[in-house]
């Protein structure tokens, strides 16, 4: 069993490494420079994938939180928490790469338009999720409260995604779905999305496994103490 687990992890790490190398090559060598925005547009190939992964991470937290409240199994809580941590990391990257791209494109680092504001709110919601879990007097109580935040907080994810279509914002529209990319740009973007998605999967596998083990150890210690 351990051997199979090691082989699986080795394959995932190998695929993730290969995809990341391919993504870097395609971003900096293969794909042409966008003629209007210039070289700064290459941030797009990192900004969009990390945004996608943050949505995926919070969706996994949403589903896992529902399953935890329903079945009360530690594994679902571990997955929910691990995914929320990853989601916060990737949303932080979104909030960093966005302003770096916005400064040369818009002339400002930040503006309180709908897309940026709802993205910041999303980050704050899941930071609160992690704080509630860490500050709870009992792990089980923190898990329950966190699950509720993980479920309710997910409402902001579709709001963030739809802001550019619902309101007038400075943020570009969803050009990916409107045929606004050349073939080379689309291929590069898809490879970058695959690379960051594999990285997310690896982070979840490692983190959720450790959290489940920690929960089991704490439960055994409490049983022994009784």
Q: Over the stretch 7-47, which tens digit does the pLDDT of each residue have?
A: 777 788 888 889 999 999 999 989 888 777 778 888 889 99
Q: Give the sign of the dihedral formed by CA 82, CA 76, CA 192, CA 154.
A: negative
Is the model more confident about 102 or about 56?
56
Percent of the chain at pLDDT above 70? 85
| 38 three-state secondary structure | strand
**Angle value at C-alpha 141, between 135 and 147, nearest 5 degrees:** 95
Q: Is the pLDDT of residue 149 over 60?
A: yes
Give the count of domains, the chain: 1
CA 15/CA 145 separation, integer angstroms: 36
1 pLDDT tier (thresholds 50, 70, 90)? very low
- Measure Cα distances from 65 to 95, 128, 132, 214 in Å: 25, 15, 14, 18
Q: Among 132, 168, 158, which Cα is nearest to 147's?
A: 132
pLDDT at 160 over 80: yes
In tens, the pLDDT along 184-208 reads 888 999 999 999 999 999 989 888 8
Q: Give the integer Cα–Cα distance in Å for 19 and 194.
A: 7
- Structural domain for 79, as ranges: 2-225
Residue 205: which H helix or E strand, with range?
helix 183-225
Percent of the chain with pLDDT over 90: 47
């Amino acid at each position: 069993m351990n051997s199979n687990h090691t082989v699986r992890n080795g394959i995932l790490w190998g695929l993730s490494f290969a995809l990341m190398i391919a993504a870097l090559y395609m971003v900096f060598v293969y794909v042409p420079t966008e003629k209007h925005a210039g070289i700064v547009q290459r941030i797009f190939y990192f900004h969009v994938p990390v945004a996608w992964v943050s949505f995926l991470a919070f969706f996994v937290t949403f589903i896992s939180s529902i399953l935890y409240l329903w079945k009360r199994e530690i594994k679902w809580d571990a997955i929910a928490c691990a995914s929320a941590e990853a989601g916060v990391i990737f949303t932080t990257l979104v909030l960093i790469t966005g302003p770096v791209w916005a400064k040369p494109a818009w002339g400002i680092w930040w503006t309180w338009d709908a897309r940026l504001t709802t993205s910041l709110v999303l980050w704050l919601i899941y930071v609160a999720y992690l704080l509630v879990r860490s500050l709870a007097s009992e792990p089980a109580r923190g898990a329950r409260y966190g699950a509720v935040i993980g479920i309710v907080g997910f409402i902001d994810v579709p709001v963030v995604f739809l802001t550019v279509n619902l309101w007038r914002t400075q943020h570009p529209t969803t050009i990916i779905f409107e045929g606004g990319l050349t073939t080379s740009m689309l291929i590069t973007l898809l490879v970058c999305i695959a690379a960051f998605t594999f990285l997310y999967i690896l982070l979840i596998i490692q983190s959720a496994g450790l959290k489940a083990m920690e929960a089991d150890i704490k439960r055994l210690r409490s049983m022994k103490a009784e």
